Amino acid sequence: MEFPILSVMVWTPFVALLAVLILPGTQAAAIRIVSALAGLVTLVCAIWLWFAFDATSSDFQFVERIPWIPEWGIDYHLGVDGFSVLLLFLNAIVYLTGVLTMWHMGTEQRVKEFFVFMHLLVFGVFGVFASLDLFAFFFFYEIAVLPMYPLIAIWGSTKKEYAAMKLTIFLMGGSALLFPALASVFWVAGVDSWSLTDLMAVEFSAEYQFFIYPFLYLGFGVLAGMFPFHTWSPTGHVAAPTAVSMIHAGVLMKLGAYGILRVAMTLFPQGAEDWAALFGALATVNIVYGAFVAMRQTDFKYVIGFSSVSHMGIVLLGLNTMAVDGVNGAVFQMFAHGVMTALFFSAIGFIYEQTHDRNIENFGGLVRQVPIAGSFFIVAGLCGVGVPGFASFWAELLVFIAAVKTMPVLGVLAVAGLVFTALYMLRVFGKAFFGPVNEKWNHLREPSAWEIIPRAMLVLVLIGFGFFPSAVLDLIGEATLGLLGRF
């Protein structure tokens, strides 16, 4: 029997949650250490999984299957392909760096409760990326969504109760579409199993695919920040504490895109083809609208929030091209954007904790006052613009090439959206990081060596895969061919 590496990854955050519950709330240092160890274990497992994975096969690997509720056809069924290996690694590195970013939390900030909810959130995300049973997939999906309300409402800022409630209402609305649709799939398939591998063998009628696909796409698309159901996302970004913003933008939004890829497109390829033009057009609106609105924002976090809406549009556009380059680029963008936004919010959080101000107009010349802290934001910004040498360059290039080939009008509009992306990022650079120094912030300190570590890890990932994109493309290549082979 193979070592259950996936179960170890999925359940490590839950074990950490139980350990934190046992520890007294006054033991802030012990709580932080337990949380960091959990993050480190999952990252080691993710790296081991990457190198042990056979990238020449499109089959699911490291499969674990145990009956869970057999009378309902529900199994504890885990397995990975190239897509999920990449996203498990993304979740692991954002998890660890998020814990390290919040290392300063003490008992007065209710550190125990914070890390309990954070571990629960990450536990759900790992479960989604590893699950091959649709019921378990939805179960973990809901576990990942629910902790966002207390994490924002209790530890957030800037209309935190409003943001937490808005996020919850939108995401519950998406779930309200999802579960009836998934139950319908189980009933129509007639195989007495929720397993994705069993359902993949079923040939659903073209009429049923046309009917059910938009329910799944919209249900998952709400979490992916698709237009016009995106408005919860920037609000949530702004209100969330730093580590939660990192996980929210870096990983949680990817669950929606992954659900479209793993469930909707895999089971209903004909439905995906039928609806591709409409959803591709909405994705293009995401790209252009998100970038255009970001140009008008004065709050650092709102800029990155609408930037995320725009960049997730690139993911959704790539998926709707249903071309090898488009799907490869979309999955690569999910990974690159996840790391990039984690770095963005980590950099912004460090500055905000000292200034309690996020208004771009109130800053100037930050690179001369805190050059190290400022450089982290600038690196993330260059990645967001798609500068060569960063991971997002290859992701965006592949998506735009595929879009121009398969949907020429939408492709050209999406490429034009890059102009707005460059403009809003250069505007932030010019106002907050360069130009005249605002002497009000001369007291700002640079990050310590310990505070540099998590941010440097994210920078190394962005640059490393920017110079060696083949590591990602080789990992996901067979999974892409296997998916598109169903069309």
CB 307 within 8 A of CB 289: no
Check residue 271 and give its pLDDT: 93
Alpha helices, DSSP H only, in 80-159? 82-101, 111-130, 134-145, 148-155
Determine the structural domain holding residue 353 and report its residue range: 5-484
Check residue 106 and give its pLDDT: 65
Tally Cβ neighbours within 10 Å of residue 228. 9
Digit-by-digit pLDDT tens for the chain (487 residues) are 578 999 999 999 999 999 999 988 788 889 999 999 999 999 999 999 999 999 888 889 999 999 999 888 899 999 999 999 999 999 999 999 999 988 877 666 788 888 999 999 999 999 999 999 999 999 999 999 888 888 888 887 778 888 888 888 888 888 888 989 999 999 998 888 899 999 999 999 999 999 999 999 999 998 888 888 888 878 887 787 878 888 888 888 899 999 999 999 999 999 999 999 999 999 999 998 888 888 888 888 888 888 888 889 999 999 999 999 999 999 999 999 999 999 988 888 888 888 888 888 888 888 888 889 889 989 998 888 888 889 989 999 999 999 999 999 988 898 888 888 888 888 888 888 887 888 888 888 888 888 899 999 999 999 999 999 999 999 999 999 999 988 8
Check residue 240 and give its pLDDT: 79
Q: Which residues pair with 195 in a beta bridge?
A: 133
Check residue 355 and give its pLDDT: 85
Check residue 323 and give its pLDDT: 92
The DSSP annotation for 106-118 comes to -GGGTHHHHHHHH
The total number of structural domains in the chain stands at: 1
Separation between Cα atoms, residue 90 and residue 378, nearest integer Å: 21
Q: In the numeric block, which tokens belong to residue 240?
A: 């969330």
The DSSP annotation for 422-448 comes to HHHHHHHIIIIISSS--GGGTT--PPP
Check residue 107 and give its pLDDT: 65
Check residue 350 and give its pLDDT: 86
Query: Across 384-474, where does the E strand assignment appear?
Result: none
